[in-house]
Amino acid sequence: MNSFAGPIGDASPLISRKAPMIDPFGRAVTYLRVSVTDRCDFRCTYCMAENMSFLPKKDLLTLEELDRLCSAFIAKGVRKIRLTGGEPLVRKNIMYLVRALGAQVKAGLLDELTLTTNGSQLARYAEELYDCGVRRINVSLDTLDPQKFKAITRWGDFDKVMEGIDAALKAGLKIKLNAVALKDFNEHELADMMRFAHQRGMDLTVIETMPMGEIDEDRTDQYLPLSKVRADLEQQFTLTDSPYATGGPARYVEVKETGGRLGFITPMTHNFCESCNRVRLTCTGTLYMCLGQNDAADLRTALRASESDDYLSAAIDEAITRKPKGHDFIIDRTHRKPAVARHMSVTGG
């Protein structure tokens, strides 16, 4: 991991500018994903080992520091922020950060504040999220079978997640369900999951499993290409490619029979890097310019080096110059080690 080395400025805080950050391949970086904690109240089998070692709490940035970092990115052209984890809603006092960033949306400085959650805490927080300016969330859900749900999450409570989804819809939040496609687990359930989502006005996005972090299972056994998922669904449904986009990597189709949308995220079969507008910030202040690469920038040092944001701004600029063209994910029998050692819960989904 590289750290930016440069003079510590004493000038005034960053002044917002309209021009976005441009990476070496001409892509504007306008989307920041922030992992507010690496902790989670689930232990999903494709994401984590059951006995995880989490970061000491002393290593985490404070919520005030995360707010300052996000504000620095907003001043440099970021228009969308997604809070992730682990499970973001298990972070103590997380609504402080949500409310602070929601104020940036209300002021017109940020187009959208969103959240990815496992749904376990939604019954508690849905109304407050809406009150803070959040209008759209992603809920990770890989099965509608309570027993299979318990098996894949290890610690999850299916009824609690359903209660959370109901509370979020009642509060006025738009929901997109995210399901990781897993061979011999949910491949024959995806049609029913799509119907479940569309009957409730929710979108569904299916995602290929990614080789990140050591887990207790062989990902080769789990991997299900979405080309096969789409072909299987087209036996029952009429899928028409859609220009709809949310700023993320999903490509969407319209489903004639349900009237809803279905998204595909394909890091393995079709790398979506050519249009990547994203960088990822961890709860320790590490910036990953690519989810599937190890190169990173230490923004915590720059953040704490000066009360002025000049040093931090320069560190961000330097990091963007190292954003790579794309990732190199591979899953097969000859590549048994994960493409990157860190778990998804460290970087955020």
Q: Is 276 annotated as a binding residue?
A: yes
Tell me the C-alpha distance between 316 and 282, whole Å.
14
Q: Is 176 annotated as a binding residue?
A: yes
Q: Is 240 annotated as a binding residue?
A: no
Q: Is 280 annotated as a binding residue?
A: yes
Q: Is 285 annotated as a binding residue?
A: no
Tell me the C-alpha distance between 318 and 325, whole Å.
16
Q: Is 292 annotated as a binding residue?
A: no
Q: How far is residue 159 from each of residues 85, 125, 162, 194, measured CA to CA in Å?
A: 22, 16, 5, 19
Q: How many beta carbons lie within 10 A of that of residue 1, not counting itself?
A: 10
Q: Is 82 annotated as a binding residue?
A: yes
Helix axes 146-153, 158-171, angle to 10 degrees: 100
Q: Is 33 annotated as a binding residue?
A: yes
Q: Is 40 annotated as a binding residue?
A: yes
Q: Is 283 annotated as a binding residue?
A: no
Q: Is 279 annotated as a binding residue?
A: yes
The one-letter code for the residue type at 146 is P
Q: Is 44 annotated as a binding residue?
A: yes
Tell me the C-alpha distance between 52 and 44, whole Å.
11
Tell me the C-alpha distance between 94 and 87, whole Å.
11
List strand residue ranges (DSSP E) for the chain, in order: 21-22, 28-29, 31-35, 80-84, 112-117, 136-140, 174-181, 203-208, 239-242, 251-255, 260-265, 278-281, 286-288, 296-298
Q: Is 91 annotated as a binding residue?
A: no
Q: Is 210 annotated as a binding residue?
A: yes
Q: Is 160 annotated as a binding residue?
A: no
Task: Point out the annotated binding site for S-adenosyl-L-methionine.
Answer: 46, 86, 140, 210
Residues at the binding site for GTP are: 33, 82, 116, 176, 278-280
Task: Show binding-site residues.
Answer: 33, 40, 44, 46-47, 82, 86, 116, 140, 176, 210, 273, 276, 278-280, 290
Residue ranges at the known binding site for [4Fe-4S] cluster: 40, 44, 47, 273, 276, 290
